[in-house]
Amino acid sequence: MRIIVAGASGLIGTAISSTLRSAGHDVGALVRRPPAAPGEFQWNPGEGRIDDSALKGADAVINLSGAGIGDRPWTRARISELRSSRLDATRTLTAAMARLDTPPAVFLSQSASGYYGSAGPELLRENSPAGTGVLARICADWEAAAHEAPAGVRVVTPRTGVVLSRSGGALGRLMPLLRLGVGGPLGNGRQYWPWITLPDVAGAFEFLLRTPLSGPVNLCAPESADVNSLIAQLAGALHRPAVLRVPAPVLRLVMGQLADELLLASQRMEPAALSGAGFEWQHPSLAQAAAWVAERGTKS
């Protein structure tokens, strides 16, 4: 397949692009700078501009674009940027598809577990309703924008959970602390995080390109875990203690609204669609995932 990736240079985009190339696909990338290599095409989603030749002849488009959720404080301006960076990119892609005589057959447009808000211990399948909060509203609108793709395009909106990687990603700031033995759970630790390893994210996207699923797909491992269990398994795999709990009030003082929506929210997602379609995880259990994350000397 010829596949165009928006957001190919990020942690997830790099892993997905590598996996797709290893599977024999022709992978191109949308870039904001002038193209510097074959297969790169320039776009400016904030202005709705794209090199239309990028999507011509493409079999699939993968949209991973969006400003980082947790890397800056949530000011009013930043929240606006989180929203616009996702909607502008998605609408630029769907508009480009509409201008083609033969649009791509598949559009995989990233969403997130934040769609569900904070749902406590409730089991969340793809048909569960949207939650409340900033992230839930952004995700709902993000998914709706993806479905503006032309008729006949199979649209999939993977609701990706907390991605476990050996470096960077959701645990980028926590892992060094855990390796030093000075990390610990966040809040009371009873909130569920829908985790998945980076190789399984990449594998799931490749799977979704060739599987006739459409609509929302929960991207997480089949074994659910709360933060206490997650941190304990990671620390155990690193042979380090993890006793320095960070209380919720401290998190809220330092991070504001971001703490409640990103760190303290509970989303017990179940990957019902992936399981039903026969996807096979490399790291289905938390013990396997923690052992993989803890391995040294290998890039994520």
Q: From first to last of the 300 residues of the chain, give the pLDDT tens digit.
A: 999 999 998 899 999 999 999 999 999 999 999 998 889 999 999 999 999 899 999 999 999 999 988 878 889 999 999 999 999 999 999 999 999 999 999 999 999 999 999 999 999 999 999 999 999 999 999 999 999 999 999 999 999 999 999 876 667 667 777 877 777 888 898 999 999 999 999 999 999 999 999 999 999 999 999 999 999 998 888 888 887 888 888 888 888 888 888 889 999 999 999 999 999 999 999 999 999 998 864 444
CB neighbour class for 37 (10 Å; exposed up to 12, middle 13-18, buried from 19): exposed
Query: What pLDDT is recorded for position 184?
Result: 81
pLDDT of residue 296: 60
pLDDT of residue 114: 95
Residues 118, 121: Cα–Cα separation, whole Å = 9
Classify the C-alpha dihedral 164-139-43-51 as positive or negative. positive
Helix, strand or coil, per DSSP, at residue 78: helix
Position 218: which residue type?
Answer: N
The pTM for the full model equals 0.93
Report the pLDDT value the prediction gives residue 83, as an integer from 0 to 100. Answer: 96
C-alpha to C-alpha distance for 240 and 294, rounded to whole angstroms: 11
User: In Å, how far from its chain's centre is CA 240?
Assistant: 28
User: What is the structure's pLDDT at 297?
Assistant: 40
Range 171-180 contact pairs with CB under 8 angstroms and sequence separation of 24 or more: 171/234, 171/293, 175/234, 175/293, 178/231, 178/234, 178/235, 178/238, 178/240, 178/242, 179/238, 179/240, 180/240
At residue 300, the pLDDT reads 44
Backbone angles phi, psi at 283, to 5 degrees: -130, 75
- Which pLDDT does position 168 carry in this prediction? 66
